[in-house]
Structure 1
Amino acid sequence: MKRHPLRLTGVAALLLTLALSLESCFTERQNEGAQLYAAHCSSCHGDQGQGLERLIPPVAASDYVAKHRAELPCLIRKGMQGDIVVNGIHYNQIMPGHEDLTDSQITILLNFVQTSWGNTNQIYTMRETSELLGRCNGSDGQ
């Protein structure tokens, strides 16, 4: 059976187009994550996630981000106060919650942090974020 070179080329072109559109989708989500971080987090945690001295913990190369995965969605939604230890340093400041963010935006924001500035953690799915937000009555289903 003889194969048609044009048919294979068409399939290859289709696969290339799909791959490029998926890459674009991920790039847009990464950009959206950076924008959400800049708008809601960078004023305290720094442009590069570096934190502020011993006042505000870093999210860059943060052991807390890696170890407290299940708590992070509620932490963003509801905020927190009290002592925490990040990279061996104690912090005790109030972090405001972000009730204005949707579950989807929290997922995108968390995935940006999980994969930026030396963090190489597993990304969140929308379903996982919504389920974790349900634990603190914080899911908006969006």
Structure 2
Amino acid sequence: MSPRSLISGGLLLLGAALPSCFSNNRHQGQRLYAQHCAGCHGEQGQGLARLIPPLAGSDYLAKHRAELPCLVRNGQHGMIVVNGVGYHNVMPGNKTMSTAQLTNLLNYVESHWGNQAAPRTIRDVQTQLDSCRRP
């Protein structure tokens, strides 16, 4: 086999493997949401009456975009206002989620249910996490 054939064959194998790799990451945010968030915020991000804020069509997500990585990592303990309604319940944080997982989760939430934020990068999320105030 010539070196050119080997390179072509290697590129074909790499090309075949990459879509499944990206496909798994593309859906990771949805899986993480179902595992960690949907129990409280609802399967469609609808929240729960005046107890748990909605993520669907949430003005809070857009207004506090830079704070969201810290909020998910460290939790929420104070009063917040979402779509004009005040919420004062504790949201537990998740310190076990990697920066990549947190990025995928936020990208999922911020691109579904009427939310239309620009995609985040792992580097952006890490920079925001580095600036978190420690609880």
Same fold (TM over 0.5): yes
Q: CA RMSD in A?
A: 2.3
Aligned mate of 1:119, from 106, 115, 127: 115
- For 1:119 and 1:25, locate their aligned partners in 2 and report how far apart those are by CA, in whole Å: 26
Determine if the alignment matches structure 1 residue 64 to structure 2 residue 60: yes
Q: Which string of whole-angstrom CA distances, capped at 9 and with x for unpartnered residues, describes residues 115-135 of structure 1?
A: 011111111111000000001
- The answer to whether 1:49 aligns with 2:66 is no
- Which residue in the other structure is 1:76 paired with? 72
Name the count of aligned residue pairs.
Answer: 123
2:85 matched to 1:89?
yes
What corresponds to 1:30 in structure 2?
A: 26
Partner amino acid, structure 1, of 2:123:
R
What per-residue deviation string (whole Å, max 9, x for no partner) do you get for residues 28-52 of structure 1?
3331111000001001100000000
2 CA distance for matches of 1:100 and 1:58?
Answer: 24
Alpha-carbon offset, residue 136 of structure 1: 1.6
Task: Determine the structure 2 residue equivalent to 1:9.
Answer: none
Q: 2:99 aligns to what?
A: 103
Distance in 2 separating the partners of 1:30 and 1:58? 23
Task: Using the TM superposition, give the Cα deviation of residue 27 of structure 1 relative to its aligned residue in structure 2, in angstroms.
Answer: 4.1
CA distance in 1 between counterparts of 2:116 and 2:55 reads 12
Q: TM-score, normalised by structure 1?
A: 0.78
SS class of match (1:44): helix
CA distance in 2, matches of 1:28, 1:116: 18
**Structure 1 stretches lacking a partner, 5+ long:** 1-13
How much has 1:25 moved relative to structure 2? Answer: 5.6
SS at match of 1:90: strand
Distance 1:27 1:85 in 2: 35
Kindly provide the amino acid, as one letter, of the partner of residue 91 in structure 2. M
Pair 66,26 (structure 1): closer, same or farther in 2 beyond 3 Å: farther
